[in-house]
Amino acid sequence: MQIKQQMLAQLIQKKCAPLYILVGQDNYLLEDSLNRIKSFIKTTYDCDEQLISIQSSEDWRTVAEEANSYSLFSDTVFLNIVYDKKTIDAASKKAINEYINTPNPRCFMVIRAPNLPAKQLQWIANHEQVVVVMAYPLSSDAMKTWIINQLKKNELQFEQQIPELIHQYTQGNMLACAQVIEKIALSNNKKQIINSKCALEHLSDQCDHSLFELSDACLAGQGDKVIHIIRQAANNKTEPTLVLWMITQEIRILLQLSFLLQQRIDMRTACSQIKIWPQRIGLYQAMSERLDPKALQKMLTLASRVDEQIKSSFSSQVWNTLERLSLSLCLGHLIGEACEI
Q: pLDDT digit string (tens) for 9-51?
A: 888 888 889 999 999 888 889 999 999 999 999 888 888 888 9
- Report yes or no: 45 and 76 within 8 Å, Cβ to Cβ: yes
- The 3-class SS string of 98-144 reads HHHHCCCCCEEEEEEECCCCHHHHCCCCCCCCEEEEECCCCCHHHHH
| Overall fold of domain 2-134 | Rossmann fold (3.40.50)
CATH of 211-331, one of 3.10.20.90, 1.20.272.10, 3.30.2320.80, 1.10.443.10: 1.20.272.10
- Report yes or no: 132 and 37 within 8 Å, Cβ to Cβ: no
Paired strand residues for 112: 22, 82
- Report yes or no: 7 and 134 within 8 Å, Cβ to Cβ: no
Average pLDDT per consecutive 10 residues, the chain (341 residues; last block may be shorter) = 87 89 88 91 88 91 87 82 91 92 90 90 90 88 90 91 87 81 86 86 67 88 87 86 93 93 92 89 91 89 88 77 92 70 43
Q: Which CATH architecture has domain 140-200?
A: Orthogonal Bundle (1.10)
pTM more than 0.85: no
Q: What is the reported pLDDT for 206? A: 57
Residue among 93, 95, 112, 104 nearest 59 (CA): 95
How much is the mean pLDDT over the chain?
Answer: 87
Measure the CA–CA gap between 286 and 324, rounded to whole angstroms: 20
Q: What is the pLDDT of residues 119-132, one digit of tens each?
A: 899 899 889 999 99
- Report yes or no: 184 and 156 within 8 Å, Cβ to Cβ: yes
Q: What is the reported pLDDT for 205? A: 54
Q: What is the reported pLDDT for 340? A: 47
Domain boundaries, given as residue ranges, for the chain = 2-134, 140-200, 211-331
Q: What is the reported pLDDT for 338? A: 45
Count the residues in the chain: 341
Residue 158 makes CB contacts below 8 A (sequence gap 6+) with 151, 193, 194, 195, 199
Q: What is the reported pLDDT for 236? A: 81
Q: What is the reported pLDDT for 339? A: 45
